[in-house]
Amino acid sequence: MSDIRVAIAGASGRMGRMLIEAALREQGVALGAAFDRPGTPFIGRDAGEMAGVHTGVSISDDPGAAIAQADCVIDFTRPEGTLAHLNLARELGKAVVIGTTGFDAAGKAAIADAASAIPVVFAPNMAVGVNAVFKLLEVAARILAEGYDVEVIEAHHRFKVDAPSGTALRMGEVVARELGRSLDECAIYGREGHTGERKAETIGFSTIRGGDVVGDHTVLFAGIGERIEITHKSGSRMPYALGAMRAARFLAGRRQGLFDMQDVLGLR
C-alpha cells in the first residue's frame, strides 16, 4: 500500500511543527502539503525548516489548494478554522483527522454531518497513552461505583484557550457513562464561597493554566480512608502527533464514517 499523503493545518504553530516532524518520521505517511493563515511569517518557506529538514513542501496560505494535494487533512487548530477546513475536505472528498478541542454542540454536529460523506477521526486526545487511560477509567468506574467521589484535575500551558480541556471532559464522560449518569447534569466546573457539602453524584473539574505545561490529567476516586488516582502526563506534543499519524493511516481506504482513537486502536 502506498503512503497516505497528509496536509497539515496550522503548519507554523507549535502543534503544526510537531505534526510535520511526525509525518516525516512515521512509516506509511508522507507529507503532501502544509498550510497556515495568510500573513503568517512562514508562508512560502519549507515546511521542515524549523526542524532543520528540507522537505520540498512549502507552507501555503491556500487551504483548498493544499488539501487538494493530500489524501487526509490533519487539523489541531481552532474550531472555526477546523470547520472551514472540514468543509473544504468534504468538497474535495478527503479524509480528516481532527485533534482540535473547544467545539460547541453546533460544531460537533457539523463534524458528524461531514462524516456522512467523508471519513473523519475526531478525538479530544490522540495520544495512545491517554486512550489507554480512557479504558482504565471504564474499569475503575465500574469497580468504584459506590462510596467514591470523582474529581478530574487538569493542567496546561498558559496559551490554551479552552477549559476544561477536551481530554478532561472526555475522561468525565467516560466515568459518567459507566456510572449511569449524564455529565451535563452532574459536572461541577468551579467551587467558590459557601458551597455546602459535596453531592455524591457530582463529578468535579479543576483547571490549572500556567507556564509551558504540555498536558497533565488526573482522575481522582476519593473514598473513605483511601484515594485512587489515574494520571497521564505529557512531556511533549509528539505523542499527540504520532497518534494523529496512526489515525490518518486508519482512514486510508475508508469512504465515510465518524471514528475516534478508540476505533483507531481497536479498543471498542
pLDDT of residue 217: 98
pLDDT, tens digit, 9 for 90 and up, residues 128-137: 999 999 999 9
Which is the catalytic residue, given 156, 194, 199, 217?
156
pLDDT of residue 6: 98
Which is the catalytic residue, given 85, 135, 157, 160?
160
Averaged pLDDT in 10-residue chunks for the chain of 268 residues = 92 94 94 96 93 91 98 97 98 97 95 98 94 96 97 97 94 97 96 94 98 96 98 94 97 97 92
pLDDT of residue 179: 97
Annotation says 199 is catalytic: no
Question: Domain spanning 128-234: which CATH class is it, in words?
Answer: alpha beta
pLDDT of residue 124: 85
pLDDT of residue 53: 87
pLDDT of residue 1: 59
Asked if the domains at 4-126+237-264 and 128-234 fall in one CATH topology, the answer is: no
Bin 14: left if φ > 0, else alpha if -120 < ψ < 50, else beta.
alpha
How is domain 4-126+237-264 classified at the CATH fold level?
Rossmann fold (3.40.50)
Q: In what order do the strands lie in the sheet with 215-222?
A: 187-188, 203-209, 149-156, 215-222, 227-234
Domain boundaries, the chain: 4-126+237-264, 128-234
Annotation says 108 is catalytic: no
Q: What is the pTM of this model?
A: 0.84
Nearest to 97 by CA among 116, 133, 124: 124
